[in-house]
Structure 1
């Protein structure tokens, strides 16, 4: 699993994710609110909201908190109006970054994101400069102990496109519109999974072969992740497992 998703998994295993629980909750709630505002509060009629709702529940966001976010999005409760904005740029070594944010002040967020790139050895790029290096996919991560044949049978019937062996996990990909169907198919078959989300996968990767280079790339990614308005950071790096483990210490 090249790119940001593997780094996020390593940080989670080392406990870093627990320290950021409050920040994660805030970002997930904002995503739910915006999905409800843009497509309505009916989960059945708004697939984006359904995906964001499930993502929040998977991360243990309380149900009443999610329901209040939906009501703010639909206007039943007063709330801040957020807009979606994306940024494209490069980390040290030419690693492409695609950043998605939700903000109530585009100028402020743009200025702060630009500063984070500059301070951490990266650079912002023009819109479209790196977006073509990523594609939106539904991704389900499963424990490697799941039987491959059983998984393939369930996945193919639900729109599965690819099953990749990632060492201690399986990575199952599908079209984002099939993600909900895929979740239901796996659950109905009794197959448990670690996570299921819509994400951006790189179509090509940039190798990072030294510890110092890896630290430089990950320093920028972590700085962007820590920004309150940034929802997701996608990267096309390919860092060997031993180096990722070393820089995570």
Structure 2
């Protein structure tokens, strides 16, 4: 197992969207609510929750808001009747690009209407459940700042990573199965790697290369619009630009 020059099967595993926006406080708070609801409401015993809280703190969400979100997830907050659902939406953008959307919503009709409008206005269409998800695989991804590749190879082997990828800006991403993410995280921390972000991400099995500038513009505008919606947590697409 090895890095760029040594991995026989290493490929670019996702399309990086230059215009990707930071998550809003609403999106970050909802991620905490769902993580607390799906497991114990204690970050020490809930890796998903701990990751959601870390992201919220890094974005400047107040401790009071974090505690309120924890209480909502645990069912101990009395002033809110909204019930959030995790829903995955799927569709196609310009050029037949597959787009996978993860949402947290208290009104699925509202969310579907917003998404349908975003697709329609940007040369795409919202599809049925299952129409594109077969093109993706969910992975745990850990993003690192500047790293030494030889040390990363050693730690990746120890942490049972599936692969890693070095980038020109000298950072790296390490990929693993969802169930192994906590083990890999602990291993990288043990080796003092500068961890920037930990997340679950849908990775496309194959990417479509977009060469038409108008299609590229439509795709970036669509993804930008989708990511700006409070109900939307993550957007993944299977395209690369030249």
TM-score (norm 2): 0.86
TM-aligned CA distance change 1:59 to 1:198, over 3 Å? farther
Q: Deviations over 1:39-64 (max 9, x none)?
A: 23133443332332333334443344
| 2:204 equivalent to 1:211 | no
CA distance in 1, matches of 2:174, 2:226: 27
CA distance in 1, matches of 2:182, 2:66: 18
Deviation at 1:171, TM superposition (A): 1.9
CA distance in 1, matches of 2:186, 2:127: 39
Two-structure CA RMSD over aligned residues (Å): 1.9
| 2:228 equivalent to 1:220 | no
CA distance in 2, matches of 1:57, 1:153: 31
TM-aligned CA distance change 1:64 to 1:176, over 3 Å? farther
Q: Which has the higher helix share?
A: 1
CA distance in 2, matches of 1:45, 1:142: 24
CA distance in 2, matches of 1:65, 1:218: 31
- CA contact 1:30–1:69 (8 Å) conserved in 2: yes
Give the secondary structure class of the aligned counterpart of 1:160: coil
- CA contact 1:27–1:229 (8 Å) conserved in 2: yes
- State how 1:101-180 maps to structure 2 within 5 Å: 101-143=103-145, 145-168=146-169, 169-180=171-182
Gaps of 5+ in 1: 241-249
TM-aligned CA distance change 1:142 to 1:184, over 3 Å? same
**Count, aligned residues:** 228
